[in-house]
Amino acid sequence: MELLTNQILAGIATGAIYACMALAVVMIYQAIDHLNFAQGEMAMFSTFMAWQMMQWGLNYWEAFVLTVVISFAGGILIERLLFKPLAKAPILTNVAGFIALFAIVNSCAGLIWDFTIKQFPTPFGSSPFLGSQLISTHQAGMIGVTLGLLLLLFFFFRFTRIGLAMRAAAALPESARLVGINTSWMIALGWGMAAAIGSIAGMLIAPVVFLEPNMMGGVLIYGFAAAVLGGLTSPFGAVVGGFLVGIFENLAGTYIPGVGNELKLPIALALIIIVLVVKPAGLFGRPIVKRV
């Protein structure tokens, strides 16, 4: 029994990473209806920028805030330059665009900062959290930040006019234009927000997995799995999905013989497929009621 609770606790701790990443995935999916394969690389690049700023002598929180702001602007810039021209292109063209962006960002990071791993600091410390050996203060802080972000997003989309406009633009672009919403800028804003959330995810993940250009490879797949499990249309679902994937991964590694560490990643992929087959809208994806 104690093993079970311990594994669940550890699962929640790793789940926080996936939840954070899934939140960024859902943001971009809401805005453009596609999964952005380069999301993880963008987050990694942001994290390197934060690291560089700290090397230049800024303290953690200065670098943190600056990185979030620059990432937000960078996300908008990428949308304007790369993906706005592709807005009417077929989906495969967009996918090719994402893959190109993935490769470009990854190589640029390698070129600028090389491929050796770097230490990234944590503002929360890394001592045991409340005396538990399984959750460190950093992981607890990460869970807190993820939940805080979720709450902020909830209020933004539910209670602000710009949030309402973004939801409308994502749901029905033509109707949104007919009430006077500039849908093209709403998409750009979605990119900016996804990049900003991604940068926060990157900075929180880096102390755990170490900073290097390929740090996000596995994490992004888990983030996708979490987003699909929770429902790609629901930020809340993405976070719950993240924690569930974390717990599931740990329990499978412990209790299913032969799984171990090597097979954890295929389990995440299998989870994506199972969810898509059994419940394509995900656990919390909103079923659309339609009457004619």
Partner 1 sequence: MTAMLNVKDLRAYYGQVQALHGLEFGLNEGSLTTLLGANGAGKTTTLRAICSMVRSTGSIEFEGAPLLGRSTENIVRLGIAHVPQGRGTFTTMTVEENLQLGAITRKDSAGIVSDIERMYDHFPVLKQRHTQQAGTLSGGEQQMLAVARALMLRPRLMLLDEPSFGLAPLIVRDLFRILGKINREDKVTILVVEQNAQLALELADKAYVIETGRIVMSGNAAEIANNEDVRKSYLGY
Window of 138-146, 172-180, 234-242, 253-261 that interacts with partner 1 by CB under 8 A = 172-180
Q: Give me the least distance between CB of 183 and partner 1, in Å please.
A: 8
Q: Is 100 in the site for partner 1 (CB under 8 A)?
A: no
**Both structure tokens of 42:** 């963008």
93 binds partner 1 (CB under 8 A): no
Is 181 a binding residue for partner 1 by CB under 8 A? The answer is yes
Is position 178 an interface residue for partner 1 (rule: CB under 8 A)?
Answer: yes
d(CA 83, CA 38): 12
DSSP string covering 20-69: HHHHHHHHHHHHHSS--TTHHHHHHHHHHHHHHHHHTT--HHHHHHHHHH
d(CA 143, CA 76): 27
Strand runs labelled E in 121-260: 128-129, 132-136
290 binds partner 1 (CB under 8 A): yes
- Interaxial angle between packed helices 2-32 and 217-230, expressed in degrees from 0 to 180 and rounded to the nearest 10: 80
Q: Are 238 and 227 within 8 A, CB to CB?
A: yes
Nearer to partner 1 by C-beta: 14 or 183? 183
Q: Which stretch binds partner 1 (CB under 8 A): 14-22, 80-88, 116-124, 177-185?
A: 177-185
Sole window of 48-56, 103-111, 157-165, 266-274 interacting with partner 1 (rule: CB under 8 A): 157-165
Question: Of 86-94, 170-178, 237-245, 259-267, which segment contacts partner 1 by CB under 8 A?
Answer: 170-178
Q: List residues near partner 1 by CB under 8 A.
A: 161, 164-165, 167-168, 171-172, 174-183, 286, 288-292
